[in-house]
Every structure is written in C-alpha cells, then in structure tokens.
Amino acid sequence: MELRIGIINSPRELGFETSQPASEIEKLVTDAIESGKTHFVLADDKGKRYVIATGSVAYVEIGSEQNRRIGFVG
C-alpha cells in the first residue's frame, strides 16, 4: 500500500510503499502523537526504516490495501 506523510514547512512529502496493514500504521501514528512521543518509525517494502518526528507531521495519507488492476477493464 502507498503511504504519504506531509511534513510541516516542507514543500515535499515523504512517500513510499509498505506492506504493513493500514490499521497497524494508523495505530502506531496515533499512539505516538497521543502519548507525546518525539518520533515513530515506519518501514518500507525494501527494508528502509524512516524515523519521523511527531511534531513535524502535517498529515498521514494511508492508501488502499487493495491491489491495483493492471490492463484493460471490459
């Protein structure tokens, strides 16, 4: 699924593909913000880890868990 994170005072967003379930990502981000943690960590499909400061997060867009269709739909 595609994940996009907007960063405050930055014209670009952080975007990557991850196999983590949407519910897990939502819980991780929500818990970090509500508990006052300074950062949280997410991983992409290629094994990269992203440490994100909670105070810099403008938004988190969690894509659909459905697979994309390839080809023509008839």
pLDDT digits (tens, 9 = 90+) for 27-53: 999 999 999 999 999 999 999 999 999
What's the pTM value of the predicted model, to 2 decimals? 0.79
Strand residues in 1-74 grouped as ranges (E)? 2-7, 13-17, 39-43, 49-53, 57-62
pLDDT of residue 73: 62
Residue 48 token pair: 């990269």
Q: Are 18 and 1 in contact (CB under 8 A)?
A: yes
